[in-house]
Amino acid sequence: MGGKYSSLDPMQVEVPDIKNLLGRDPYLQPYEKEIRRRYACFKDILESINENGGGLDSFTKGYRYYGINVQPDNTIICREWAPGARQLYLTGDFNGWNRESHPYNKQEYGKWELILPPNQDGTCAIPHLSELKVVVETQNGSKEDRLSPYATYVVEPPKEEGTIYKHKFWNPLQTQRHIFRNRKVARPASLRIYECHVGIATQELNVGSYDNFTDNILPRIIKQGYNAIQLMAVMEHAYYASFGYQVTSFYAASSRYGNPEQLKRLVDRAHELGLVVMLDLVHSHASKNVMDGLNSFDGTDSCFFHAGPRGEHSLWDSRLFNYSEFEVLRFLLSNIRWYMEEYQFDGFRFDGVTSMLYHSRGIGQGFGGHYDDYFSLGVDTEGVVYLMLANYVIHHFNKDAVTIAEDVSGMPGTCRPVTEGCLGFDYRLAMAIPDKWIELLKHCSDEDWDIGNIIHTLTNRRWMEPNVAYCESHDQALVGDKTIAFWLMDKEMYTHMSTLSDPSPIIDRGIALHKLIRFLTHGLGGEAYLNFMGNEFGHPEWLDFPREGNNSSYHYARRQWNLVDDELLKYKYLNEWDAAMNHTEAKYGWLAHEPAYVSWKHQSDKVIVFERNGVVFVFNFHPSKSFPDYKIGLEGSGEYRIVLCSDEPRFGGHNRIDVSVPFFTSDEGYAGRRHSLQVYIPSRCAIALAKV
């Protein structure tokens, strides 16, 4: 677990709130020394940043020091970190592509600097949108073209010019820059996230734009009752089909959707509508691309990455960052600050956290839940400390910021504060939930579903460590897998989704179960809820980006909004249900409340009953049995009414329940609750009741 860290006795290190952590989970007490050691490593780096990096504010604004920065008098200062290089030069349109006329001057600690004074008329020596390259002279004397790691705008070349992305100097006139008019949005108590991808947010056979998303998709998201968006594939990636997970230019917002000012307009408009805006952040690895990526920037195997096998991810075919290197920390932490300041993002979903936490990168490593898995020599201290630093920085500069960890290992303390010696995330993705739903749909008829096992999967999370619950994300939508809608109805989705078509048991079952699966996950599975774009209405096809294997087709790299907008198609029912779930949650706030109390889980009846924040949820998953006067227990007393019912006609239901009928509790306790009442619960139906 070692690294360049403190030699202090960990037990002497003061962790502000470790007693709170150990008090909540006594099973962590044998690992107190290790928790204190991690915190000591974190404090070491923080102190080094303050002493050697100019303080946290300056250190995390490395983009103002490195890269190509225009000063108030139009002087341009170019700086790079390339410790393995013999010499650096700047070349481009501005100097007729002379590769030696503008050498950088070598500074201390592997830094290089070049100052370009203004033209005689006071304008910048490099015009806006000029193409630039950094020429790196390696130790063996070769001169290699590279893109600046801090490049803020890179574009795809014309097809006749190859595939290497081009750095275009972004310095528009002040009148052409977007000015933010709306404040960042405070973190809502209940987070309802719409996971989305700008490029596929169009039904046209092309790449969608920031402007299309701003004008046409944001209103849809608001209508559906979501209060947060999670933008995927924004950090520039040369290979579109990588879904944004092979990042080549970390500071460049992808130009395939538009320019930086258009992304700023998108974020600003989202804030105006009250949406929290999160970025899918990829700091777990980087593309292996050399000519337009970070790889071998200074001509060596290391620089930003570990040298040798430790610097390569064998499954992802990508490079792994060296989190113990001071300038790598500056690069990554400043990258976070860049998106917070320049684009006004409110939070981040961290991709590939498991890979960062363990030397195994999670490959072939099973996590059975024993704490030794999380506090052993297999844990990568440098990755742990980087995540602590990242969360500390984010919450230091925006107390309302949201951070989410994509981690399958379940490391204790992932979603507890750094001051407890933990990672500091606000949420982790409940990744076992979609796996469970897909497993059931793939291998088991719903009449054989194990109700107890489903409940266990939905409730199996650490106390006071919030989870984002979801039935399916982009992972389940990708080609090679199927969405829930496709698993349920693929045999007839192309023939029986019209409201004018003959009744279909397959479609009827599919719509009913699609609603129940989502509602059960929404109510029981976590402290936030996530949906991937299109799944709210049961998008009928998988997602597949244009690539060599599909003749570069955009047919599956889009969302067919026309399907949900067509009043004659049944997709509208699923869409209406999605909106109703979210708007009902917005009123009653179950996500913001402590986990639900499950009072009833009956295997043969296939009935589930639970309460959360005063709302009583009743589910009947039975394929054929309906239950009149089904007795349920509940804690509250008085008059209750149905506030949501999946059997309403507007949701594609059969109208078997009169939702206007009130319910009055009995003082007779039942199922471990103080009161009871009786409800009619038809087959494959869910209702939610709340006090009047």
| CATH number, residue 653 | 2.60.40.1180
| Token pair recorded at residue 118 | 């203004």
Structural domain count of the chain: 3
Q: What is the DSSP string of 98-121?
A: -SSSSBPEE-GGGEEEEEEPPPTT
Domain assignment present for 486: no
| Token pair recorded at residue 477 | 């939508």
Domain assignment present for 588: no
Q: Do residues 86 and 112 both lie within one domain?
A: yes
**Which of 464, 456, 451, 368 is CA-nearest to residue 420?**
464
Q: Do residues 77 and 44 both lie within one domain?
A: no
Q: Do residues 72 and 167 both lie within one domain?
A: yes
Q: Do residues 129 and 74 both lie within one domain?
A: yes
User: How many angstroms separate the CA atoms of 632 and 668, rounded?
Assistant: 11
Q: Do residues 67 and 98 both lie within one domain?
A: yes
Q: Do residues 114 and 35 both lie within one domain?
A: no
Single pTM value for the model: 0.96
Q: Which CATH number do you get for residue 119?
A: 2.60.40.10
Domain assignment present for 641: yes
Determine which helix (DSSP H) or strand (DSSP E) holds 601, and give its type and residue range: strand 597-602
Domain assignment present for 499: no
- In contact, 334 and 341? CB cutoff 8 Å: no
Domain assignment present for 645: yes
Q: Name the phi and psi angles at 107, rounded to 5.
A: -115, -175
The pLDDT-based confidence of 473 (bands split at 50, 70, 90) is confident
Q: Do residues 73 and 162 both lie within one domain?
A: yes
- In contact, 211 and 258? CB cutoff 8 Å: yes
Domain assignment present for 521: no
Domain assignment present for 673: yes
Region 524-549 average pLDDT: 93
Q: Do residues 82 and 140 both lie within one domain?
A: yes
What does the mean pLDDT of the chain come to?
A: 95
* Final residue belonging to a domain, choices 140, 160, 176: 176
pLDDT of residue 367: 86
Instruction: Please report how the helices 326-341 and 32-52 are oriented relative to each other, as an axis angle in degrees rounded to 10.
Output: 80
pLDDT at 426 over 50: yes
* Final residue belonging to a domain, choices 137, 158, 176: 176
pLDDT in tens, 366-381: 888 789 999 999 999 9
By residue range, what is the domain housing residue 105?
A: 62-176
pLDDT of residue 1: 41
Catalytic site residue from 32, 325, 406, 648:
406
pLDDT at 615 over 80: yes
Q: Do residues 101 and 142 both lie within one domain?
A: yes
The pLDDT-based confidence of 5 (bands split at 50, 70, 90) is low
The Cα-based distances of 314 to 282, 362, 363, 524 in angstroms read: 17, 11, 9, 37
* Final residue belonging to a domain, choices 160, 176, 192: 176
pLDDT in tens, 124-136: 999 999 999 999 9
Q: Do residues 129 and 31 both lie within one domain?
A: no
Q: What is the SS3 assignment for 338?
A: helix
Q: What's the angle, vertex CA 610, arms to CA 606 and CA 611, rounded to 5?
A: 160
pLDDT of residue 244: 95
pLDDT of residue 548: 86
User: How many angstroms separate the CA atoms of 157 and 167, rounded?
Assistant: 10
Region 49-63 average pLDDT: 97
| Token pair recorded at residue 287 | 């593309």
pLDDT of residue 2: 40
351 counts as catalytic: yes
Which residue do the tokens 């100052």 mark? 115
Q: Do residues 156 and 85 both lie within one domain?
A: yes
pLDDT of residue 149: 98
pLDDT at 658 over 70: yes
Count Cβ atoms below 10 Å from residue 412 Cβ, excluding itself. Answer: 22
Region 270-276 average pLDDT: 98
pLDDT at 100 over 50: yes
The pLDDT-based confidence of 8 (bands split at 50, 70, 90) is low
Catalytic site residue from 44, 292, 325, 351:
351
**Which of 170, 156, 212 is CA-nearest to residue 63?**
170
Q: Do residues 610 and 684 both lie within one domain?
A: yes
User: How many angstroms separate the CA atoms of 559 and 536, rounded?
Assistant: 12
The pLDDT-based confidence of 3 (bands split at 50, 70, 90) is very low
The pLDDT-based confidence of 11 (bands split at 50, 70, 90) is confident
pLDDT at 10 over 80: no
Domain assignment present for 651: yes
